[in-house]
Structure formats: structure tokens, C-alpha cells
Amino acid sequence: MVAAFFLPVIVILIISRYAIADDWACGSGQFLEDVAEIDVNNDCPENKAAMNACCVTHDSCYGGQQARSTCDDNFCKCLTNATASSSVCSTKESPEWCNLVKVFGGMAYETTSTTSPTTPTTPTTPTSPTASTTPTTPTTPTTRTTPNTSTTSTTLTTPTDSFLSYIISWFHG
């Protein structure tokens, strides 16, 4: 029964892959990216570019290791604005995608912290117009790295690979 449902979906995804743009950034892993793009193409193609921009910003936020809740909240607000002109996308894709990142985004967020070293930034104090104009020497940033603690023999190359593996293992029980 399950195979009868998924087989046509997989065939459609494989066939439609040739018509899907390579710069699409919504979804985690190629399969989920394809599903998300097909949904948007069917439900609200006029909102596609704005929704994709939300995904790019969200990925960048995770990569920069900003607070996960901030990344997710900003993503949800961005999607709300991006889909406001579509009754379908504003009631379907936007809340679904928002919930997906809040529920499943933790694994992608944690993976980016172990695979993408970040450079912490030192806050600067704004100077007033009357303050000295002598340039200050910037401090040298330090790079924070976390060792890879993976015990599997498969090397995951991106956060989306890890997340997709998690989803697949969840379905297989």
C-alpha cells in the first residue's frame, strides 16, 4: 500500500527534476527540496522567489550559528510576509515550513556547528561625530571549531545530508 503511493511520487520527482531550477534552497536534501519546489510551483508560483529568499537567509543564519530560535522566528516572519498575497501558501506552506524548521531544524543547526567553523565577532562601540577619528586596530578573531564526533563510517558532507538521513531513518523505524 505504501509503495503504491510513493512509487508514483518518486517517478514524478525524478522526471520533474530536469525542470527544477538548481538555485532552489528550500528543503533539506535533494528529495525534500524537490517536494517543496513542486508544492510552491503548484500552489503559489508567484511567491516562489520571495519564499526561496527566506530559505537562503535561514540557511545563512544557521551557518552563522546565530541563536536557533532567532533564525527560526525570522524565517517564519519572512515566510508570512512572502506568502501574504496567496491564500493557499499563507495557510499551507508558510505554517507547515515554519513548523518543520522548529521541529526538525535542530539537527541541521547542530550539524552546522560541527562542520562549519565560525568566527565570533566582537561588538564595536559606535563613535560619535565628536569622538577621536584615530583608527583603531581591530582585534584578531579566533576561530571556534568542534571536533567531529560521528561514529558512523559514512561521512556526511552537509547539514542537509544529516537531516535527510534522520528523516529516512525515522520512516524506517
Chain segment 41-91, per-residue pLDDT in tens: 999 999 999 999 999 999 999 999 999 999 999 999 999 999 999 999 999
Does residue 62 belong to any structural domain of this protein?
A: yes
Residue 58 has phi, psi (to 5 degrees) of -65, -45
Does residue 103 belong to any structural domain of this protein?
A: yes
For the cut 90, the answer to whether the pLDDT of residue 172 exceeds it is: no
Q: Between the ranges 3-12, 96-105, 115-124, where is the mean pLDDT highest?
A: 96-105
Query: Could you tell me which residues are beta bridge partners of residue 118?
Result: 144
Band (pLDDT 50/70/90 cuts) for residue 17 is very low
The residue with cell 538548481 is 22
User: How far, in Å, CA of 30 to CA of 10, rounded?
Assistant: 12
The parent domain of residue 108 ranges over: 57-116+158-173
User: How far, in Å, CA of 16 to CA of 40, rounded?
Assistant: 14
The residue with cell 560541527 is 114
Band (pLDDT 50/70/90 cuts) for residue 29 is confident
Total of domains in the chain: 1
Query: What is residue 139's DSSP assignment?
Result: P
Position 121 scores a pLDDT of 42
Does residue 132 belong to any structural domain of this protein?
A: no
Residue/partner pairs of 124-129 with CB below 8 Å, 24 or more apart = none
Does residue 165 belong to any structural domain of this protein?
A: yes
Does residue 5 belong to any structural domain of this protein?
A: no
User: What's the mean pLDDT in 7-14?
Assistant: 49
9 or 103: which leads in pLDDT: 103
Helix axes 93-115, 48-63, angle to 10 degrees: 30
Does residue 102 belong to any structural domain of this protein?
A: yes
Does residue 126 belong to any structural domain of this protein?
A: no
Does residue 3 belong to any structural domain of this protein?
A: no
SS3 percent helix, strand, coil of the chain, rounded to 5, is 60, 0, 35
